[in-house]
Amino acid sequence: MTRPVTLFTGQWADLPFAEVARLAASWGYDGLEIACSGDHLDPWRAAEDGAYVAERLALLDSFGLKVMAISNHLKGQAVCDDPIDERHHAMLPDLIWGDGEPEGIRRRAAEEMKRTAVAARRLGAEVVTGFTGSSIWKYIAMFPPASTELIDAGWRDFADRWHPIIDVFEAEGVRFAAEVHPSEMAYDYWTTARMLEAIGRRPGFGINWDPSHMMWQDLDPVGFLADFADRIYHVHAKDSKRRTANGRNGRLSSHLPWGDPRRGWDFVSVGHGDVPWEDCFRMLNTIDYQGPVSVEWEDAGMDRLHGAPEALGFVRKQMFPPAAAAFDAAFAAR
């Protein structure tokens, strides 16, 4: 099955958008998952300025690229997060940070997510990927004890903040794909199930499947695809590698930076980690996923100008079409 392969621009936001488009086209990517970062996309402007949208589309067209999805991970993170602190200040623009008052930041972040739905529709993208943030991730160790009431309140807070955002997505005919990821409301299998229940399984809200976050948690990314088949709205091709065999490196990675050999796991370029990619792509065929496969390139030990085109080649090799008939059908021929 042929699916478009795109490059997620979030890790390239230090480069001008035109340069990222040029690189992606030169490597053979079909399109981009455009991040609302750097000069790549201003969702407020795209929601209101037709000339800006036309300029962005013309630039992509000049390189033979399509916009397959929009990412607004960073602002989505601020919708539910508690606490809001200097980490957010470092990644949020002044428009969202404002005076730094946390609830104001959450409200402005939610408003930008609504604008992103409008921007996506105007650009012709059917999906916006992103994070949800979480008011209860800080309780992950469950000590000091976090009561059931405290956790339940976090899920209500998530629903209260995201229902109005999804109202706009559904009105615009655009779907939101929440990335299952540590620090979000959904970070593993059971929290994903609860997230979908909390939002009422609305059609405008689904999943951005990224297996790299599943491997170090010992989750089965193939079974995840099968069980949440109707909610897989977008796919990230990203890999991770466990390094816990020496008995010293822990899964929580000891507050060590990416690439440190003492970490218990690390992100690596696609095909260099533990993700069972062939099984994953076979399951994508089985569930008839038709959307893009977006290379989210992250590897602290490899140059990205080497890694991004190599990753594209690896992903394309996984794109074998499903069988048109059972292999043993020939035995019944007469």
SS3 of 207, please?
A: strand
- In this prediction, residue 321 carries a pLDDT of 84
pTM to 2 decimal places: 0.96
> Helices (DSSP H) in the chain: which residue ranges?
17-27, 43-48, 50-62, 73-80, 86-91, 94-97, 102-123, 148-172, 189-198, 212-215, 221-227, 277-286, 304-317
The tens-digit pLDDT sequence of the chain (334 residues) is 579 999 999 999 999 999 999 999 999 999 999 999 999 999 999 999 999 999 999 999 999 999 999 999 999 999 999 999 999 999 999 999 999 999 999 999 999 999 999 999 999 999 999 999 999 999 999 999 999 999 999 999 999 999 999 999 999 999 999 999 999 999 999 999 999 999 999 999 999 999 999 999 999 999 999 999 999 999 999 999 999 999 999 999 999 999 999 999 999 999 999 999 999 999 999 999 999 999 999 999 999 999 999 999 999 999 988 887 776 666 776 5
- In this prediction, residue 320 carries a pLDDT of 85
Whether 186 and 132 have beta carbons less than 8 Å apart is answered as yes
Q: Quote the CA–CA distance of 312 and 6 in Å, as a whole number.
A: 8
Question: Per the structure block, which two tokens stand in for 227?
Answer: 């069980």
Question: Per the structure block, which two tokens stand in for 98?
Answer: 């404002």
- Whats the size of the chain, residue-wise? 334
- In this prediction, residue 78 carries a pLDDT of 98
Q: Quote the CA–CA distance of 104 and 126 in Å, as a whole number.
A: 29
Q: Quote the CA–CA distance of 271 and 295 in Å, as a whole number.
A: 11
CA nearest neighbour of 57 among 110, 8, 121: 121
In a 13 Å sphere around the CA of 155, the CA atoms on its Cβ side amount to 17
Q: Quote the CA–CA distance of 236 and 3 in Å, as a whole number.
A: 13
- In this prediction, residue 2 carries a pLDDT of 76
Q: Is 119 exposed, middle or buried (0-12, 13-18, 19+ CB in 10 A)?
A: buried
CA nearest neighbour of 225 among 166, 187, 279, 151: 279
- In this prediction, residue 226 carries a pLDDT of 98
Biggest alpha carbon–alpha carbon distance for the chain: 78
- In this prediction, residue 280 carries a pLDDT of 98
Instruction: Name the amino acid, one letter, at 248.
Output: R
Query: Which domains can be identified in the chain, with CATH numbers?
Result: 5-332 (3.20.20.150)
